[in-house]
Structure formats: structure tokens, C-alpha cells
Amino acid sequence: MSKRENLDYIDTLRFLATFLIVFAHFDAECFGYFMQSTVTEKFFFPGCWIGSILFGHTGKYALAVLCTISGFLTAMKYYGSQKCDVGAFVIGRYLRLMVPVLFTNFLSMLYVAVTGGKVNVLQYLRAGLTPGNMEINRNLWCIGAFFVGNLLVCLLCYLKERVRWADWLYLPLLAVLALMGQTWIFAGAAGGLSYVAAVRLREKGWMRGWHLVVIVPAVWLLIRGYESDLMYYRDILAGFLIMVTFYCLPVLQKLFAFRHFRWIKKMSYSLFIIHGMTLFIVGPVWNLIQSLGIRSYYGIFVSMFLLIFLFDFALAVVVYYLAEGKLCGALQKVLLPSGGPAQRENEE
């Protein structure tokens, strides 16, 4: 299986997690605002048979999976490599994460200016240059956790080639992060450990049989519960198990490859970045739905979500090709002439 094929299943998992985040934010911040009730309350909490199944599938669970994937991919790129340049990684990773944010902030600022709103250019610039800044888009607080978590994994990969017992440093690192309450940085570091564990288990041949299907109900049980600090760590553990299991079972990788949808799955990070900016279209969409005579609870939900998601995705395509591709690639060629554009295995 080629490197590109090795990433297909990861792209699928990442897109599904991103979709769940977009769904959760729409339901809570848009649909719930107009209807004073959310679909999540009806179908993602105990009370009906499907609620009993979906209980625990929240935006924070999806975020835990994204953070875990992020650390997993960083370790996949650098674990066991003698070419782990930490400085180049920091620059490349920063550009990979923040160029799309800066570009999205520019689009948001342009919209506000065109519609006659007051624009604080320094505020938009600061939010586009600082990982985790929430001044413009409060949904992007976790970008800082992505960045720091990935950096810690990169540092451990760097030490791996110089200190034989470097893998064991994950344990005190995770303990310190947990004590500090840095849940989502913890998730990124746990993702790096998931790759180390998967490699070791696969080498020893301990995870090759379908008896591992028991992990499926284990993950399902872990994520069941209402959001809390404890649940977030359980979500991270579920993400850990998911990544280890998929890595060790190629048959699962093939089942979740969906190679014909590669171009759609490429938009995951841009979709994640852009979806918080499109809240300004909620009002017009609501008015459009009402003008069409749609009155049923679920009819309003489906039609609103479909329209907003399509708009989100269209903007994500623009951000992906202009910011993630051309702009980020050009900056990397200038700042990292020996490294070239960002590699797919290091995408968020």
C-alpha cells in the first residue's frame, strides 16, 4: 500500500470528525437559536433508541479525534527518522495552521467592511497570526492546542534518535499535561503515543486478528456520557484506540479509504476553519426557508443545515486552493527552501 493510500482512511476519519463539529455548532448556535430546541437533544441523548446509540457523539468527541489524528500524523512523519528538524517543523507547522486562518480572517474582514461594519485591522491580524486566538472566531481556540501538541510530539521524535528510552517520556509528559489541565494538548501528545503503540503492537503481531472487534464496543462505551473533563479524557482514549486499531488492521484502512472522495476529504481543515465565519448567513437562510413555506421542525433543520453546509464547503474549497495550497506553499518555499511545500502526512 502506497503512502497516499495509507492516508486515505485517516482523511476519512478526519472529515467525519470535522463534519460532526460543523453539525454540532450549527445545531447549537444556529438552529437552536431560532427554534429554542436542538436536534442533539432529541437524537443524541437517551430517550429514544437512536439517542441511546448516539449518546456521547458530541463536537468535543470529534475534536478529541482530530487532536489525536494530528499527533498521530506528526509521529508517523518523524518517528524513527534521523531528519527530524524541529526548527523547520515549527515554521512549516505554523504556516500550515495559520495561513488558512489569516486568509479566512481577511475574508471576514472584507465582508464586514463591505456591509458597512467597523473593522479593526490589528484585531483581525492578531487573530490570524496567534494560534488559538478567539477574537474573531471563537471556534478556533483549539488551534493553539494543535500547534503545541504537535510540537511536543516532534520533540519526542527528535529525542528518539538520540535517547533510547525517549518513548517512555510520553508517560510523564501526559501526566504533567493532565495535572496542568491542558486537555487538548494532552490529546495531541496522546496521538503521538498512539502511533508509537501501534507500531510496536504491529511489529509484535499482537493486533492482527478480527478478535480486535471487541475494541468497537469499548470505544462506544468510552464516549457515552455528558460533557465533562472526565469525558474529554475518555474521548481521547477512544481516539487513541481508534487510531491504533486502524493502523494495525489494513482491512479497516481499505474499508474507510473512500478514494473516490479524496478531493472532498482534502477540505477538512479549511472546512473546520471556515465554518465559524459563516454564521452571518444564518439570518438570510432563515428568511429564505420561511419564504419557501417550510414550517416543520425537521424540514427547517435539514434545509438550513444543507444550505449552510454547502456554503461552508464552497468557501472551504476557496481557502484550500488559495491559502492551504498556493499561499502556504509559496511561503514555505521562501522560508523553508530545502523543505518545500507541506506534506500531506502533516496536514491537520
The domain limits of the chain are: 3-346
Q: Which amino acid is at 73?
A: L
Distance separating alpha carbons of residues 67 and 101, to the nearest angstrom: 17
Residue 95 CB partners (closer than 8 Å, separation 6+): 328, 331, 332, 335, 342
Cell (9 digits) for 210: 478480527
pLDDT on residue 72: 97
pLDDT on residue 212: 66
Indicate the pLDDT class of residue 348, thresholds 50, 70 and 90: very low
Mean pLDDT, residues 187-201 taken together: 95
Residue 288 CB partners (closer than 8 Å, separation 6+): 307
CA atoms within 13 A of residue 260's CA, in its CB half-sphere: 1
Look up cell 479524557; give the residue.
233
For a pLDDT cut of 70, what percent of the chain falls above it? Answer: 93
Q: Which amino acid is at 200?
A: R
- DSSP state string for 89-149: HHHHHHHHHHHHHHHHHHHHHHHHHHTT----HHHHHHHHHSTT--SS-GGGTTHHHHHHH
Q: Is 70 exceeded by the pLDDT of residue 112?
A: yes
Which sign does the torsion angle of CA 249, 255, 261, 265 carry? Answer: negative
Q: Which amino acid is at 318?
A: V
Distance separating alpha carbons of residues 67 and 6, to the nearest angstrom: 19
Q: Is 60 exceeded by the pLDDT of residue 129?
A: yes
Look up cell 476519512; give the residue.
12
Q: What is the pLDDT of residues 133-176, one digit of tens each?
A: 998 888 899 999 999 999 999 999 999 888 888 899 999 999 99
Distance separating alpha carbons of residues 291 and 295, to the nearest angstrom: 10
Q: What is the pLDDT of residues 235-274, one digit of tens each?
A: 999 999 999 999 988 888 999 999 999 999 999 999 999 9
pLDDT on residue 346: 40
Q: How far is CA 171 from CA 19, 40, 106, in A?
A: 31, 36, 41
Indicate the pLDDT class of residue 115, thresholds 50, 70 and 90: confident
CA atoms within 13 A of residue 338's CA, in its CB half-sphere: 5
Distance separating alpha carbons of residues 139 and 133, to the nearest angstrom: 9
Cell (9 digits) for 238: 477512544
For a pLDDT cut of 90, what percent of the chain falls above it? Answer: 67
Q: Which amino acid is at 207?
A: M
Q: What is the pLDDT of residues 45-94, one digit of tens each?
A: 988 889 989 999 999 999 999 999 999 999 999 887 767 788 999 999 99
Distance separating alpha carbons of residues 108 and 22, to the nearest angstrom: 18
Look up cell 441523548; give the residue.
45
Q: Are 102 and 140 in contact (CB under 8 A)?
A: no
More reliable by pLDDT, 205 or 146: 146
Mean pLDDT, residues 17-34 taken together: 94
Q: How far is CA 100 from CA 22, 94, 140, 194, in A?
A: 17, 10, 12, 27
Between 2-6, 172-176, 278-282, the lowest mean confidence (pLDDT) is in 2-6
Indicate the pLDDT class of residue 116, thresholds 50, 70 and 90: confident
pLDDT on residue 207: 66
Q: Residue 232: name the closest of 151, 177, 171, 169 by CA.
A: 177
Indicate the pLDDT class of residue 343, thresholds 50, 70 and 90: very low
Cell (9 digits) for 228: 465533562
Q: Are 101 and 345 in contact (CB under 8 A)?
A: no
Mean pLDDT, residues 95-110 taken together: 94
Q: Are 66 and 14 in contact (CB under 8 A)?
A: yes
Q: Is 60 exceeded by the pLDDT of residue 36?
A: yes
